[in-house]
């Protein structure tokens, strides 16, 4: 299969659309938690960031879908917008169910350039998801959260895997749709979008650091600079990981992220491209990080 071909377009859209799962967050069997489990849940520092990010991501992607073409691609992007909005609804249901104090801040206006925003959001998800996969597995391995609760949140994680798979193939397809002389410009836009996403994550880390140690979130920074993307979840992945387990090393966490990343993406058509940059950076880190296993 040639990347950028009609066959590629069909496979990337059909893979995405056909693996969509139906569920309604409010109707999920939210488990009864004991007081200690609820306290643990409330102690996680990322609820404000997570809810804010999912809401805004859903709004941006849904808006972008309207201008996407051809229709099959539009359908897939619209479905991603729906899923992101549902992530926000799932988090909303969770914080209400367990009475977690959150302040996701005011609704922000949509960015002017929705395609650039979709790109920046997509690169951000590539970063967030990689570490989020590891954090989720860590929560399960350490028994930090009840498995029934993690089971309810599992669809979010696998949907993010689908989103980043879709995104890297969307990028490749879009680039091949341009004449060869315009492709370097597309690459430059990608670099700018990635840099913007990385910047968002640094800002997010500051926000989460501001929230860490609190059990609520009312005094978290609720504003975000006018720009294409809000603060996002990568700060929460790092802070969340340290909140879940004190004794993990950076090496063992990155190894776990890589394993989970590979496992979650392995179930989709091998002809589709996989995210490469963050896993490659993680492998480069492991090559030099102390504590290499023999
Ligand atoms: Fe999401
Ligand atoms: Fe996503």
The CATH number for 6-288, chosen from 1.10.620, 1.20.120, 1.10.10, 1.10.287, is 1.10.620
Residue with more model confidence, 61 or 147: 61
**d(CA 110, ligand 1 centre) in Å:** 17
Phi, psi of 250 (to 5 degrees): -60, -40
**pLDDT confidence of residue 227:** 38
Q: What percent of the chain has pLDDT over 70?
A: 84
Closest ligand by atom to 118 CA = 2
**pLDDT confidence of residue 246:** 62
Predicted confidence (pLDDT) at residue 277 exceeds the cutoff of 50: yes
Q: What percent of the chain has pLDDT over 90?
A: 61
**pLDDT confidence of residue 210:** 61
pLDDT digit string, tens, across residues 121-136: 999 999 999 999 999 9
**pLDDT confidence of residue 204:** 74
Residue with more model confidence, 229 or 114: 114
Enter the DSSP assignment of 139: H
Closest ligand by atom to 54 CA = 1
**d(CA 159, ligand 2 centre) in Å:** 7
**pLDDT confidence of residue 41:** 87
**pLDDT confidence of residue 240:** 59
**pLDDT confidence of residue 244:** 60
**Which sequence spans correspond to the domains of the chain?**
6-288
DSSP assignment of the chain, as one string? --TTSHHHHHHHHHHHHHT-----GGGS-PPP--HHHHHHHHH-TTHHHHHHHHHHHHHHHHHHHHH--SHHHHHHHHHHHHHHHHHHHHHHHHHHHTT------PPPPPPS-HHHHHHHHHHHHHHHHHHHHHHHHHHHHTT-S-HHHHHHHHHHHHHHHHHHHHHHHHHHHHHHHS-GGGHHHHHHHHHHHHHHHHHHHHHHHHHHHHHTT-SS-TTS-----SSS----SHHHHHHHHHHH-SS--HHHHHHHHHHHHHHHHTTS-TTS----HHHHHHHHHHHHSSS---
Residue with more model confidence, 173 or 1: 173
Closest ligand by atom to 61 CA = 2
| Nearest-angstrom CA–CA distance, 214 and 224 | 20
Buried b (16+ CB within 10 A) or exposed e, 56-86: bbbbbbbebbeebeeebbbebbbbbbebbbb
**pLDDT confidence of residue 201:** 84
**pLDDT confidence of residue 247:** 60
Read off the pTM: 0.85
**pLDDT confidence of residue 222:** 34
Predicted confidence (pLDDT) at residue 263 exceeds the cutoff of 70: yes
Closest ligand by atom to 121 CA = 2
Closest ligand by atom to 51 CA = 1
pLDDT digit string, tens, across residues 183-208: 999 999 999 999 999 998 888 776 66
**pLDDT confidence of residue 155:** 87
Predicted confidence (pLDDT) at residue 92 exceeds the cutoff of 90: yes
**pLDDT confidence of residue 237:** 55
Taking residues 169-178, report their average pLDDT. 96
Taking residues 97-102, report their average pLDDT. 91
**d(CA 11, ligand 1 centre) in Å:** 22
Residue with more model confidence, 234 or 250: 250
**d(CA 290, ligand 1 centre) in Å:** 33
**d(CA 164, ligand 1 centre) in Å:** 10
Predicted confidence (pLDDT) at residue 216 exceeds the cutoff of 50: no
**d(CA 75, ligand 1 centre) in Å:** 17
pLDDT confidence tier of residue 275, bands split at 50, 70 and 90? very high
Closest ligand by atom to 53 CA = 1
The average confidence (pLDDT) of the chain is 85
**d(CA 239, ligand 2 centre) in Å:** 20
Closest ligand by atom to 87 CA = 1
Predicted confidence (pLDDT) at residue 78 exceeds the cutoff of 60: yes
**d(CA 71, ligand 2 centre) in Å:** 20
| Nearest-angstrom CA–CA distance, 231 and 119 | 15
Predicted confidence (pLDDT) at residue 214 exceeds the cutoff of 50: no
**pLDDT confidence of residue 69:** 93
């Amino acid at each position: 299969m040639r990347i950028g071909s009609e066959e590629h377009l069909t496979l990337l859209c059909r893979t995405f659309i056909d693996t969509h799962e139906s569920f309604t967050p409010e109707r999920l069997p939210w488990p009864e938690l004991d007081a200690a489990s609820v306290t643990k849940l409330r102690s996680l520092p990322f609820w404000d960031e997570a809810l804010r990010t999912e809401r805004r991501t859903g709004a941006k992607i849904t808006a972008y879908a309207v201008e996407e073409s051809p229709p099959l691609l539009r359908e897939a992007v619209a479905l991603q917008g729906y899923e992101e909005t549902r992530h926000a609804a799932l988090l909303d249901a969770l914080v209400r169910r367990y009475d977690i104090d959150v302040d996701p801040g005011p609704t922000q206006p949509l960015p002017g350039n929705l395609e650039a925003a979709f790109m920046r959001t997509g690169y951000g998800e590539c970063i967030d998801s990689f570490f989020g996969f590891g954090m989720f597995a860590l929560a399960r391995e350490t028994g930090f959260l009840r498995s029934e609760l993690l089971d309810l949140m599992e669809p979010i994680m696998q949907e993010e895997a689908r989103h980043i798979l879709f995104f890297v193939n969307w990028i490749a397809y879009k680039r091949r749709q341009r004449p060869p002389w315009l492709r370097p410009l597309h690459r430059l836009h990608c670099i700018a979008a990635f840099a913007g996403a990385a910047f968002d994550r640094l800002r997010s880390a500051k926000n989460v650091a501001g929230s860490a140690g609190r059990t609520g979130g009312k005094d978290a920074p609720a504003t975000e600079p006018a720009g294409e993307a809000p603060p996002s979840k990568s700060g929460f992945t790092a802070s969340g990981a340290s909140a879940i387990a004190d004794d993990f090393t950076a090496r063992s966490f990155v190894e776990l992220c890589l394993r989970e990343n590979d496992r979650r993406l392995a179930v989709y058509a091998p002809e589709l491209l996989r995210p490469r940059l963050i896993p490659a950076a993680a492998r480069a880190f492991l090559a030099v990080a102390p504590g290499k296993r023999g």
